[in-house]
Every structure is written in structure tokens, then in C-alpha cells.
Amino acid sequence: MSLLLLDSADVPVVVPPVVIPFVSAFASMVATTDRLVLSHLGGSPVIYTPADGDPVQVSGVFDQVYVLAKGTAQAGVGTIGPAVFLLLEDLPVDPEDDEPTITIDGLTYRVTAREPDGMGGIVLGLRLVT
């Protein structure tokens, strides 16, 4: 919705309102909470190695038996496997635009699925590299 203002010549001037989306504020709160939870609980050390670039060590939440479900209630597929939750701001590149390797506890994984949460975090489905 715009505000309609009149100047001294009585010519209508349309001024768009300043909008700060609720989603943006909520996403910021979620990102802050994620960071606090990682620091309080002590996330797992994760080495993120981008396809092009130097590896970085970040903190993440590793789940050896993560359930990844796709589809609908009527027709869907579920898989169980390792996954890691990471904060996007900690990574050198966006995993959706990269083919990284992930090293956790000395084991190296390839990314098989990317599930961004839309609020600064991402769950990466993993497959052990043999």
C-alpha cells in the first residue's frame, strides 16, 4: 500500500512505504538461535572442502541416521543416512552451487542432497566416500 501525499502545487505524489518483512526478522532470529545452539551444545567439527578452493573447518550438527523424506503423504520416498546441518554464513560458497566434500570424524562424504531451511541454514544429505 502506498501513501498519497500532496505537495504545494496540489499534485499527487505517491511515496512507497518502507517495508521490513516479518520473514526477514524471523529468519534473523532463527539464525541467531541456530548459532547459540551450536555454541552451547558444541557442534561437530566439520571440514568443508569446496570443489574449487581451500577447506574450512566449521561447526555443524551431524546425524548418522537422518531421515530424508521426499514427496507427499500419498506417494513419497524416505531414506535414512548421514546428514549434517550447517550455517550458510560459515561456508566459503553456497553448497547449492558447489560439489563439496565433507569430512567428519576422519570420514569423507559426498553431498547427495541439499535442503536449505530458508533462514540461513542447510541440511546436507551425505554418502560415505569409499
pLDDT above 90: percentage of residues in the chain: 45
What pTM does this model have? 0.71
Distance from first CA to last CA of the chain, Å, rounded?
57
More confident residue, 10 or 62: 62
Please enumerate in sequence order all residues whose Cβ is within 8 A of that of 116, keeping only pairs 6 or more positions apart, or say none. 88, 96, 122
Please give the CATH number for the structural domain made up of 3-128: 2.40.10
Spacing of C-alpha 61 from chain mean position? 12
The answer to whether residues 79 and 68 touch, using CB atoms and an 8 Å cutoff, is yes
* Banded pLDDT at 84 (limits 50, 70, 90): very high
Average of per-residue pLDDT values in the chain: 80
User: Is the pLDDT reported for residue 10 higher than 60?
Assistant: no
92/76 Cα distance (integer angstroms): 33
pLDDT score for 7: 47
